[in-house]
Structure formats: structure tokens, C-alpha cells
Amino acid sequence: MTEHTTPQWKTLDKDLNRLARLEEATMHASRPLVGVGISLVFVSLAAVAAAILTGGATQSLAVVVAAAFGAYMALNIGANDVANNMGPAVGAKALSLLGAIAIAAIFETAGALIAGGDVVSTISKGIIDPAGLADTAIFVRAMMAALLAASIWVNIATWIGAPVSTTHSVVGGVMGAGIMAAGLGSVNWSTMSAIAASWVISPLLGGIIAAGMLAFIKWRVIYVEDKIAAARTWVPVLIGIMAAAFSTYLALKGLKKIVSIDFATALAIGAATGVGVGLISVPFIRHQSKGLENRARSLKTLFRLPLVVSAALLSFAHGANDVANAVGPLAAIVYVQQSASVAGQVAIPLWVMVIGALGISFGLVLFGPKLIGMVGNQITKLNPMRAYCVALSAAVTVIAASWLGLPVSSTHIAVGGVFGVGFFREWYVERRARRYHRDVAPESLPRQERARRKLVRRSHFMTIVAAWVITVPAAALLSAACFLLLRTIGF
């Protein structure tokens, strides 16, 4: 009896295992569809909310459609842009992916709703002559085309795994629609030249500052005889610098809606905050460093909390600033439909800001992990010290650029910081190898050994740089096509 039933039970077990694996594979394959489904529901709800909250009868269909486009753009900003803030912390294992998503969602939403700009320029960055879009119908069509084109391009960039500037995407969208509406002469080409220059300036500044900070940490903390004593001296200083940088950053960029602060006042606030936080952190670092072994690996513990705090603050500032990329054109369309006139600047209604804030959070939760993993793990290997340098470079670079009056992209700065850290490590490893192998030419080393020293993945480097270079022209071409389509169907 047993001899006949045992094979049957084994067969049944195998069949059940196959069904379990099939069910698991089906769930894994359908996971992206769940995100798409939730996104469609959110976009639909945004359109319905626009129809209800704007009074329906006094508004045109354009507001409802623009609300859907704005929600779509906000989802893409969350999926692509937020990775720059959280990727280094996740890559350094200071935060889990789930923890990073939760912190980013909370602080992005808070930044958008508490400190998001209540007034935005309807013609992004002044790249199009407002006289060319004086007709309200043409203006609405141009804003809708710019919003839809920027959304599509950021979506494509996220799909291929390239973090791109959403601000540059909107700029390209406005330029393309403006050219179709008013011709090439309507474009302010000097402004466009400055924006193009930021493609180079932003990542270079971010990379140089991040590499410089990492070099300082190696010189003053890691490669000294008593690492713990050096850390007790310098880590509070570095935390103070971080606090000063972020205080200045938030005063300049994140609190414009609450209070207007000039650059000198923001620097004074940052300096005072930096000194205070640095002094407070001295006993904290001393307590945290007790019992640590005198080796480089032990130092990572001291940078985890500052890194988490910096990632949260970056998310707050990002939500305050970049929510306008999603809802600025929508706010302009709402204003035009209500007033039947075009204005240089418009106020953002609360319901429009809520769409932007929730869209960024939903986009992050549903689609953000892909770019977070790419920025945090796939460009170069990060630890808390390297990731801290990247986060600090983002704040310091924005402050320096504001002082110099240079247009920069926060996306390019953060990713440039990751590249800067990686290329510095390559240079440093090569330099140390040459010290130990003075009589061996680098080309005579085994190919595997030389490949191991390339600590930045070149494929990601080329993909990201290419995506940055074509963002404005790609968004412009898409916007021109969208403008023609909207005109054809009668919008």
C-alpha cells in the first residue's frame, strides 16, 4: 500500500510546487500593472476633482484635461527625481528601501504643501516672449502641450533608468510649444544658452565638491593612526557644515512661501545653525564612538544618522521647489480660464498643490525603487561616508550656484556627486597601486586587475550623460508634436 501511495504523494507535491511557483511568477509579472492601474485611478481622480472644485460650468474642458496631465507629471517626478535624494542613503545601507520611500513620501509632501511656492512663472524661466502667447487659446494649448511632453519624456527616462532634470524637461516642453505657436524668434536664446551651460556646470560642481569632501575625510579621519579620536574631532565639524548648508538651502529655496529671505540673511541663519548643531553633536559623537574598533569600517556608524537627516531635508526642499514643475502650467491654465487673460505670474490654488504633492508621493512609492536602486547601487559602490559627501555636495552646490547666479539642476548635482565620488575612488586606488607597484607599468597588469579598478560603471555614465544632453531637445520635439495634435483635435 505504501509503495503505491508514496509516488502519488510525491507527484502531488511536485504539482503543488509548480502551481506555487507559477502563482509567484504571475504575481511578480503583474506587479508593474498594479502600479499602472493605481496611477490611472489617481489621474482620473485628479481630473474629477478639477471638474468639481473649479465650478464645472464656468470652466472649459481644458482645465480637466490639464489636471490629468499635471497628475501624470507629478507621478513621473516622484518616480524619477526623488531617487536623487534617497538613492545614496539606500545604496549606503543607512536606510532600507521601504524606510527611504516612507521618509521621502512624508517630507516631499510636507515640502510641497508647507513651503511650496504659492506663485509661479507661467512661462518657465522666461524662455518664451509672453507677447507670442498673448492669445488665451494658444497659451492654454501651449501649456498643455508642454506639460504632456515633459511628462512623456520623464516617463521614458525612468523606463530606461536615467535620472533626468524635470525642470529641463518642462523648459524643453515650453520651448517646443512656444516655437510652434509663435516661431523661433519668440525664444530667448540667451536664457536657453544658460540652461544648456548648466548641463555641464551642475554635475561638475556637484562632483568636485563631493570628491573634495571625500578626500578631506580620507586625509583627516580614515588614514590617520587614531581614527576614533580623529572622528570625534572632525565628524561634529562635518555635521555642523551639513547643518549650515541645509539651513541656508532651506532658507533660500524651501521657505519662500512662508517668508522672503535674502542671500546674506540665509547665510547668517546657516552659520548660526551650523555652529549650534556642531556643538550639540560633540557629546553625541563621543557617546556613539565608545567601544568602536580603530578601523575604517567602524567610522561608518557615525555617518548614518547625519545621512538620513540630510536625505529627509533634501526631500523637503525638493518637494517645495519641484512641485511647481508638475502644477505650474496647470495653475496657469486655471488662471487663464477664470480671468480670460494671460499673466506673467499666477497663484497656485490649494487643490492644484495637493494634486502635485500626492502625485509625487504616489510616483515615488509605485515606481521610485528602480531609480533609487540605480543611483544608490549601480553607478558606484557607496557607504555612509561617501553618500554623506554626495548629500552635502547637493546643498553646498545649490548655495554656491545661487550666489554666483548660475542656473543648475538638483538632479544633475546629485548624480554628478555620485560620479565624483566614484571617479575620485578610481583615481585614489590607481594612485595607491602605483605606489606599491612602482616598477610595473599599468598596461602590463592583468586585464582583470585593471578592470577591477574601474569603480564607476561606464555604461550608466554614458546613458545618463546622453539623457541629460537630449532632455531639452527631446521634450521640445515632443511638445511641438503635442501642440499640433491638440490643435488638430480642437483644444
The per-residue pLDDT for range 105-132, each reduced to its tens digit, is: 888 888 887 766 655 655 555 677 766 7
Residue 294: pLDDT above 90? no
Residue 2: pLDDT above 60? no
Q: Determine the Cα–Cα distance for residues 302 and 304; give it in Å rounded to an integer.
A: 6
**Three-class SS of residue 101?**
helix
Provide, rounded to the nearest whole percent, the portion of the chain with pLDDT above 90: 19
Strands 345-347 and 119-121: antiparallel
Q: Determine the Cα–Cα distance for residues 290 and 198; give it in Å rounded to an integer.
A: 45
Query: What's the half-sphere exposure (Cβ side, CA atoms, 13 Å) at 329?
Result: 36
For residue 3, the tally of other CB atoms under 10 A from its CB is 6
The per-residue pLDDT for range 54-96, each reduced to its tens digit, is: 765 445 788 889 999 999 999 999 888 887 788 888 888 888 8
The contacts of residue 162 (CB under 8 Å, 6+ apart) are: 463, 464, 466, 467
β-bridge mates for residue 120, sequence order:
346
Q: What was the pLDDT predicted at 27?
A: 45
The per-residue pLDDT for range 377-417, each reduced to its tens digit, is: 888 888 888 998 998 888 788 777 767 666 677 788 888 99
**Three-class SS of residue 120?**
strand
The per-residue pLDDT for range 302-349, each reduced to its tens digit, is: 888 888 888 888 888 777 777 777 788 888 888 888 776 766 667 778
The contacts of residue 278 (CB under 8 Å, 6+ apart) are: 236, 237, 239, 240, 241, 243
The per-residue pLDDT for range 449-489, each reduced to its tens digit, is: 445 556 788 888 888 888 888 999 999 999 999 999 988 88
Residue 233: pLDDT above 60? yes
* Contact yes or no for 420/206 (Cβ under 8 A): yes
Give the range among 40-44, 152-156, 375-379, 450-454 with minimum mean pLDDT. 450-454
* Contact yes or no for 254/321 (Cβ under 8 A): yes
